[in-house]
Structure 1
Protein backbone atom coordinates (compact mmCIF):
# COMPACT_ATOMS: atom_id res chain seq x y z
CA UNK A 1 0.00 0.00 0.00
CA UNK A 2 2.85 2.37 0.84
CA UNK A 3 4.36 1.82 -2.61
CA UNK A 4 1.12 2.86 -4.30
CA UNK A 5 0.98 6.04 -2.24
CA UNK A 6 4.59 6.77 -3.18
CA UNK A 7 3.84 6.34 -6.90
CA UNK A 8 0.77 8.60 -6.64
CA UNK A 9 3.01 11.18 -4.97
CA UNK A 10 5.48 10.86 -7.85
CA UNK A 11 2.65 11.41 -10.32
CA UNK A 12 1.55 14.49 -8.37
CA UNK A 13 5.12 15.86 -8.44
CA UNK A 14 5.30 15.43 -12.20
CA UNK A 15 1.92 17.13 -12.48
CA UNK A 16 3.15 20.09 -10.43
CA UNK A 17 6.24 20.36 -12.65
CA UNK A 18 4.09 20.36 -15.79
CA UNK A 19 1.73 22.97 -14.32
CA UNK A 20 4.69 25.20 -13.41
CA UNK A 21 5.97 24.83 -16.99
CA UNK A 22 2.56 25.78 -18.38
CA UNK A 23 2.20 28.79 -16.07
CA UNK A 24 5.69 30.08 -16.85
CA UNK A 25 5.24 29.60 -20.59
CA UNK A 26 1.87 31.37 -20.48
CA UNK A 27 3.19 34.23 -18.36
CA UNK A 28 6.20 34.73 -20.61
CA UNK A 29 3.98 34.64 -23.70
CA UNK A 30 1.76 37.34 -22.19
CA UNK A 31 4.71 39.71 -21.94
CA UNK A 32 6.03 38.79 -25.38
CA UNK A 33 8.90 36.47 -24.49
CA UNK A 34 9.12 33.15 -26.31
CA UNK A 35 10.40 30.35 -24.11
CA UNK A 36 13.13 28.21 -25.67
CA UNK A 37 12.46 25.19 -23.43
CA UNK A 38 8.81 25.14 -22.39
CA UNK A 39 8.94 21.86 -20.43
CA UNK A 40 12.06 22.27 -18.30
CA UNK A 41 10.53 21.82 -14.81
CA UNK A 42 8.49 18.76 -15.70
CA UNK A 43 11.55 17.23 -17.33
CA UNK A 44 13.75 18.03 -14.32
CA UNK A 45 11.25 16.37 -11.96
CA UNK A 46 11.09 13.25 -14.15
CA UNK A 47 14.89 12.98 -14.39
CA UNK A 48 15.21 13.45 -10.62
CA UNK A 49 12.67 10.67 -9.99
CA UNK A 50 14.39 8.31 -12.45
CA UNK A 51 17.78 8.88 -10.82
CA UNK A 52 16.29 8.32 -7.36
CA UNK A 53 14.67 5.05 -8.45
CA UNK A 54 17.89 3.83 -10.10
CA UNK A 55 19.86 4.61 -6.95
CA UNK A 56 17.27 2.77 -4.86
CA UNK A 57 17.39 -0.30 -7.12
CA UNK A 58 21.19 -0.41 -7.03
CA UNK A 59 21.26 0.04 -3.24
CA UNK A 60 18.76 -2.80 -2.80
CA UNK A 61 20.81 -5.06 -5.07
CA UNK A 62 23.88 -4.30 -2.95
CA UNK A 63 21.99 -5.06 0.28
CA UNK A 64 20.91 -8.50 -0.92
CA UNK A 65 24.48 -9.35 -1.84
CA UNK A 66 24.57 -8.95 -5.60
CA UNK A 67 28.22 -8.27 -6.49
CA UNK A 68 28.75 -4.87 -8.08
CA UNK A 69 31.87 -3.37 -9.64
CA UNK A 70 33.68 -0.82 -7.43
CA UNK A 71 33.15 2.00 -9.95
CA UNK A 72 29.38 1.43 -9.74
CA UNK A 73 29.43 1.57 -5.94
CA UNK A 74 31.33 4.87 -6.00
CA UNK A 75 29.01 6.22 -8.71
CA UNK A 76 25.99 5.37 -6.55
CA UNK A 77 27.49 7.22 -3.57
CA UNK A 78 28.30 10.25 -5.73
CA UNK A 79 24.86 10.33 -7.35
CA UNK A 80 23.10 9.91 -4.02
CA UNK A 81 25.05 12.83 -2.56
CA UNK A 82 24.28 15.06 -5.53
CA UNK A 83 20.59 14.13 -5.65
CA UNK A 84 20.21 14.71 -1.90
CA UNK A 85 21.70 18.20 -2.26
Structure 2
Protein backbone atom coordinates (compact mmCIF):
# COMPACT_ATOMS: atom_id res chain seq x y z
CA UNK A 1 0.00 0.00 0.00
CA UNK A 2 2.83 2.44 0.77
CA UNK A 3 4.07 1.70 -2.71
CA UNK A 4 0.71 2.76 -4.12
CA UNK A 5 0.93 6.03 -2.24
CA UNK A 6 4.36 6.66 -3.74
CA UNK A 7 3.10 5.84 -7.21
CA UNK A 8 0.17 8.19 -6.70
CA UNK A 9 2.42 11.01 -5.52
CA UNK A 10 4.79 10.53 -8.44
CA UNK A 11 1.88 10.33 -10.85
CA UNK A 12 0.59 13.65 -9.51
CA UNK A 13 3.88 15.42 -10.21
CA UNK A 14 3.83 16.22 -13.89
CA UNK A 15 7.55 16.46 -14.63
CA UNK A 16 7.95 12.99 -16.13
CA UNK A 17 8.48 12.09 -19.75
CA UNK A 18 5.71 10.20 -21.51
CA UNK A 19 7.41 6.81 -21.12
CA UNK A 20 7.76 7.20 -17.37
CA UNK A 21 4.22 8.55 -17.13
CA UNK A 22 2.87 5.47 -18.92
CA UNK A 23 4.75 3.17 -16.51
CA UNK A 24 3.40 5.11 -13.52
CA UNK A 25 -0.11 5.00 -14.93
CA UNK A 26 0.11 1.23 -15.35
CA UNK A 27 1.44 0.86 -11.81
CA UNK A 28 -1.36 3.08 -10.50
CA UNK A 29 -3.99 1.09 -12.41
CA UNK A 30 -2.60 -2.08 -10.82
CA UNK A 31 -2.73 -0.46 -7.39
CA UNK A 32 -6.34 0.50 -7.89
CA UNK A 33 -7.18 -2.99 -9.13
CA UNK A 34 -5.51 -4.58 -6.09
CA UNK A 35 -7.27 -2.24 -3.70
CA UNK A 36 -10.65 -2.79 -5.34
CA UNK A 37 -10.19 -6.54 -4.86
CA UNK A 38 -9.69 -5.96 -1.14
CA UNK A 39 -13.12 -5.54 0.48
CA UNK A 40 -11.68 -3.49 3.30
CA UNK A 41 -10.45 -0.84 0.88
CA UNK A 42 -12.99 -1.13 -1.93
CA UNK A 43 -15.48 1.44 -0.63
CA UNK A 44 -12.69 3.78 0.42
CA UNK A 45 -11.01 3.62 -2.97
CA UNK A 46 -14.23 4.16 -4.88
CA UNK A 47 -15.03 7.15 -2.71
CA UNK A 48 -11.48 8.44 -3.11
CA UNK A 49 -11.59 8.12 -6.90
CA UNK A 50 -14.98 9.84 -7.02
CA UNK A 51 -13.64 12.64 -4.84
CA UNK A 52 -10.56 13.09 -6.98
CA UNK A 53 -12.75 13.26 -10.06
CA UNK A 54 -15.12 15.66 -8.36
CA UNK A 55 -12.33 17.98 -7.22
CA UNK A 56 -10.67 17.86 -10.63
CA UNK A 57 -13.93 19.10 -12.12
CA UNK A 58 -14.73 21.46 -9.28
CA UNK A 59 -14.33 24.72 -11.21
CA UNK A 60 -16.34 23.38 -14.08
CA UNK A 61 -19.15 22.15 -11.81
CA UNK A 62 -19.20 25.42 -9.94
CA UNK A 63 -19.22 27.66 -13.02
CA UNK A 64 -21.80 25.50 -14.77
CA UNK A 65 -24.51 26.91 -12.58
CA UNK A 66 -25.74 30.38 -11.70
CA UNK A 67 -27.95 28.79 -9.10
CA UNK A 68 -26.78 29.63 -5.58
CA UNK A 69 -28.14 26.34 -4.17
CA UNK A 70 -26.22 24.26 -6.69
CA UNK A 71 -23.02 26.23 -6.07
CA UNK A 72 -23.51 25.73 -2.34
CA UNK A 73 -23.92 21.97 -2.85
CA UNK A 74 -20.77 21.85 -4.99
CA UNK A 75 -18.82 23.67 -2.28
CA UNK A 76 -20.09 21.30 0.42
CA UNK A 77 -19.25 18.23 -1.64
CA UNK A 78 -15.77 19.60 -2.27
CA UNK A 79 -15.08 20.27 1.39
CA UNK A 80 -16.32 16.77 2.31
CA UNK A 81 -13.94 15.41 -0.29
CA UNK A 82 -11.01 17.42 1.03
CA UNK A 83 -11.68 16.09 4.52
CA UNK A 84 -11.89 12.48 3.31
CA UNK A 85 -8.73 12.75 1.24
CA UNK A 86 -6.77 14.10 4.20
CA UNK A 87 -7.52 10.99 6.30
Tell me the TM-score normalised to structure 1 length: 0.47
- TM-score w.r.t. the length of structure 2 is 0.46
**Greater relative contact order, per chain length (Cα 8 Å cut-off, separation 6+):** 1
